[in-house]
Structure 1
Amino acid sequence: MSVSSAAPERRVRRAARIDAEMQVGVAIVGAGACGLTAALMLHDAGIECVVLERDAVPSGSTALSSGFIPAPGTLAQRRQGIEGDSPARFAADIQAKAHGRAAPTLVQAYAQAAGPALDALQARHGLDWIVLDGFLYPGHSVHRMHALRQKTGAALMAGLQAAVEASGIPVLTLALVDTLWLDESDRAIGVGYRRPDGREETLGCDALLLACNGFGGNAAMVRALLPEMAEAAFGGHVGNDGSAILWGQAIGARLRDLGGYQGHGSWVTPQGALMSWAVMMEGGVQINREGRRFHDETQGYSEAAVHVLAQPGGVAWNVFDAPLLDLARGFPDFCEAEAAGALRRCDGMAELAACIGCDAATLQSTLDGLRAGAVQGDGRVFARPLAAPYFAVKVTGALFHTQGGLDVGSDMRVLRQDGTPLPNLLAAGGAAGGVSGDAVWGYLSGNGLLSAVAGGYIAAHTAAALIDERKAFHGR
């Protein structure tokens, strides 16, 4: 399919060889969690690589996320006494959330690779994981959500950057890749990139990994492919301009699941920050301007974005009480939103109704219905009612990142239209189609960083094997 775009031009040039300033084993486009994980794994394998990053400081969607990565069978799980998880159980959870519409080969590949990837980052590069074991995120049947102790995406990026720097891996910042160089057999031989002063430079490579995320920052693509999110707030990185898709179209690659994405129904407004969905999972509710609940909050924060945007004014209020406030304050993102004035305290029902701007009797009826054990109309069952004082945070629905992209095999090699792999062009993370199927409700919590970290890990091993094979063939 053809995708229109308002992004800067992304070119593909053909040549037998490239006259590049430098030649490396693997060129990596994008210095987010995917690109940096791949770089670290390549370093461990003894393969020279260079990471190219468009920004002055690597951040991307990773730094804007909560920084939580799901993985089964890890050292961190065992250290905390969490048992019973496995790649098979994780894969089943992914497919259950996606209603069986996630790519089976990728589900299996990511479920198998996620644990070894996190263990390698911990054992060899000092990323000390903890498992969030106070609650279950939507769709997960066991505690497997990993984070650094700071519990932020910014901390995750800082940890990966520190590891890359300690390993001596070159990261070229302010290097906007706009051209892929391929030979006539579709073998990637290098990239062209622009500097802020307009200067153009080239880098030759034996393998190329696209780790440049999706198209959430490209308004034209979002309007065309995700019309329900066309007017939504965008909580991702503006650099997610669809470059991988545009290059893929130019070389005849196959695209997959372009209707898949991660939304978030708890984007604090007007402050612009994520509020942890743990509050909803543990008994919080979303109330609209009419004083009513409007969906089962425990189904997931991604599809909640669409539900919230469908409410009057496209907003809702997250309503919770003191014990849940204590839980929320365990997440730095919430603390920042609270410091910015997002939290409202309401000592009674009348004050809460005035805060929301709804009819007090309607709100009273809504909250009265949250009796312990009472089954709601949407099927949700509450363990206890909310108790005054109440707390409220105004939220809207947001688009965070897309889950569709280049179709790849289980080894992360990009596939042609006929399903055959390109020789040495790989894609992972948001640049590739993920494991959320083709709709917002298919997103299992953490799927974005799962595809970034597990995908980067797999791509590095594939690239290393391709390079070793090529060296053996040429006798060097």
Structure 2
Amino acid sequence: MGIVAFSEGDEFDVHLPLVIIGAGACGLVAGLAAMECETDVVVLERDALPRGSTSMSQGFIPAAGTRFQAEKGVEDSAELMARDIQHKNGDEADPAIVAALADYSGRVIEWLADTHGVPFDLVEGFLYPGHSAMRMHATPRRTGEELMGCLLNAAEAVGLDILTQARVVDLHVDAGKRVRGITLERPDGSHESIGCDALILACNGYGGNPELVAKHIPSLKHALYYGHEGNQGDALLWGEAIGASLKDLGACQGHGSLATPHQTLISWALMMRGGVQVNGEGQRFSNEHGGYSEQAAKVLAQPGQVAWNLFDERIHQAALEFEDYRNAEQGGAVRTFGSLAEMAEGLGLPLPALESTFTEMHTLAEHGEADGFGRTFAAETLLVPPYRAIKVTGALFHTQGGLEVDTEARVVDAAGEKLPNLFAAGGAARGVSGSNDSGYLSGNGLLSAVVMGAIAGREAARELKRHGS
């Protein structure tokens, strides 16, 4: 797998103006956007069924200024959304990219809903850490699997060509760093080649490559990887070989709430509605409202690399709107206790420590004070019996660093010069989460995949039109 030097006279089996590698949300949205410009395009997918990292997510896409927000009386703006993103990442992301994604986000959501029938609505009831307004848009079941189904239906409706079981192994690049085509491998080991005038890399990051994770994110090298196994860093390695600029390779989305041993994602809504996490000693160890990405490393630092999500019936009822949570309950991950004493015995936690943890929360709520981690508690959200508990661990979901791109999704080199015809989005591109695990604002992954994917498809098609392809 790598880069093949292209020479004039080399021939391909077929030729298409635009090739997109990866049929997750990023690649599908890029393809839909390119087709609106009447561009002939094919999306190549290594798996038999397009899933990608999107199918393993909750499918939440942040967007500002949508009619879905207006219908619920939510006031928001692209400027506020951009400020939230930059505040979470410590102003480490490219402000031009952040502004472009925030500005375009609302239009992309409404375009997908109105033109392609994706049944979005606004996720209400709580704010994810770092967001100043409710701006998460999701399909009814609140799963990435459902979102992928909707996008695949849209692709079929418009006739977007998707070639599955087509693993791209080589890019053919000429002396001017122009991608002239690709070679793909079929399951039987046979190879086919496709020439192209432009290429979009939508094949996600490198979370499934232990060597690259250990090199760039050593704090999570022993974390459970809860992402698509195809995320081997192909785009990163291809781009590096061509001379692309690589940025923020230590950035990632972790998650501190993956049910174990069930390996089911438990929504951070449990924490935002009043839940807490305790370790095997019955003690809280962090501000659970700080962010679920950086919480992964904090959970992994606890005895046995596990923690317990503690919540109550009120939160349980609210969490039932999430299909992942319902699956976790059906799988036996959610345990119920009538008192702290029952919970301590059932979970093997020291009762005095657990009682002290709950007493502290009540005292803080009564006096309106923050704990040593900076979290405050409100009387109306304090936990009451019957209590619920889920054993969780920390996990790596996906990486956020990658090929540096401009606001048109064009890949650039170290000098900031655009590569001739290479575009990247989603996990293949540098995201907006800064340089580490703490800069991830909820939804940043799908924001980069869906919105930058739409930009990549549109701009690649426009570039081809300009050059008569």
TM-score computed with the length of structure 1 as normaliser:
0.96
Whether the 8 Å CA contact 2:37–2:462 is kept in 1: the answer is no
1:380 maps to: 375
2:307 maps to: 316
1:462 partnered with 2:459:
yes
Spell out, residue by residue over 1:326-373, the C-alpha distance to the aligned partner (whole angstroms, 9 max, x if none). Answer: 111111001101111101111111121123322100110001111223
1:5 maps to: none
Distance 2:412 2:18 in 1: 19
Whether the 8 Å CA contact 1:16–1:184 is kept in 2: the answer is no
Give the C-alpha shift of residue 151 in structure 1: 0.8
Which residue of the other structure, out of 188, 193, 216, is the alignment partner of 1:225?
Answer: 216
Give the C-alpha shift of residue 146 in structure 1: 0.3
Distance 2:452 2:383 in 1: 41
Give the secondary structure class of the aligned counterpart of 1:171: strand
Give the C-alpha shift of residue 20 in structure 1: 1.9
Distance 1:254 1:102 in 2: 15
Which residue of the other structure, out of 401, 404, 412, is the alignment partner of 2:401?
Answer: 404
Q: Which amino acid aligns with 2:74?
A: I
Whether the 8 Å CA contact 1:18–1:204 is kept in 2: the answer is no
Distance 1:455 1:12 in 2: 28
Give the C-alpha shift of residue 11 in structure 1: 3.0
1:430 partnered with 2:400:
no
Identity over the aligned pairs, expressed in percent? 50
- Structure 1 residue runs of 4+, over 3 Å off? none
Structure 1 runs not aligned, ≥5 long: 1-8
1:194-343 map, 5 Å: 194-343=185-334
Distance 1:382 1:413 in 2: 46
Distance 1:44 1:339 in 2: 43
Distance 2:216 2:355 in 1: 40
Q: Which amino acid aligns with 2:108?
A: A
1:33-432 map, 5 Å: 33-83=25-75, 85-371=76-362, 372=365, 373-384=368-379, 385-432=382-429
Give the secondary structure class of the aligned counterpart of 2:74: coil
Q: Which moved more, 1:260-269 or 1:17-26?
A: 17-26
Distance 1:119 1:462 in 2: 19
Distance 1:177 1:18 in 2: 18
Whether the 8 Å CA contact 1:260–1:436 is kept in 2: the answer is yes
Whether the 8 Å CA contact 2:3–2:173 is kept in 1: the answer is no
C-alpha spacing 1:17/1:164, structure 2 compared with 1 (3 Å): farther
Spell out, residue by residue over 1:431-472, the C-alpha distance to the aligned partner (whole angstroms, 9 max, x if none). Answer: 00100000100000000000001111111121011101101x
1:6 maps to: none
Give the secondary structure class of the aligned counterpart of 1:319: strand
Distance 1:204 1:123 in 2: 33
Whether the 8 Å CA contact 1:93–1:139 is kept in 2: the answer is yes
Give the C-alpha shift of residue 380 in structure 1: 0.8
Give the C-alpha shift of residue 183 in structure 1: 2.0
Q: How many residues align?
A: 463
Structure 2 runs not aligned, ≥5 long: none
TM-score computed with the length of structure 2 as normaliser:
0.97
Whether the 8 Å CA contact 1:18–1:190 is kept in 2: the answer is no
1:25 partnered with 2:17:
yes
Q: Which amino acid aligns with 1:314?
A: Q
Whether the 8 Å CA contact 2:6–2:180 is kept in 1: the answer is no
Whether the 8 Å CA contact 1:276–1:334 is kept in 2: the answer is yes
Give the C-alpha shift of residue 374 in structure 1: 4.0
Whether the 8 Å CA contact 2:54–2:148 is kept in 1: the answer is yes
C-alpha spacing 1:17/1:270, structure 2 compared with 1 (3 Å): farther
Give the C-alpha shift of residue 17 in structure 1: 5.3
Give the secondary structure class of the aligned counterpart of 1:369: helix
Q: Which amino acid aligns with 1:140?
A: H
Q: Which amino acid aligns with 2:61?
A: I
Give the C-alpha shift of residue 251 in structure 1: 0.7
1:11 partnered with 2:6:
no
Give the C-alpha shift of residue 284 in structure 1: 0.1
Q: Which amino acid aligns with 2:384?
A: A
RMSD: 1.1
Give the C-alpha shift of residue 10 in structure 1: 2.8
1:450 partnered with 2:442:
no
Give the C-alpha shift of residue 14 in structure 1: 2.3
Q: Which amino acid aligns with 1:21?
A: D
1:439 maps to: 436
C-alpha spacing 1:98/1:389, structure 2 compared with 1 (3 Å): same
Whether the 8 Å CA contact 1:18–1:189 is kept in 2: the answer is no
Distance 2:413 2:369 in 1: 52
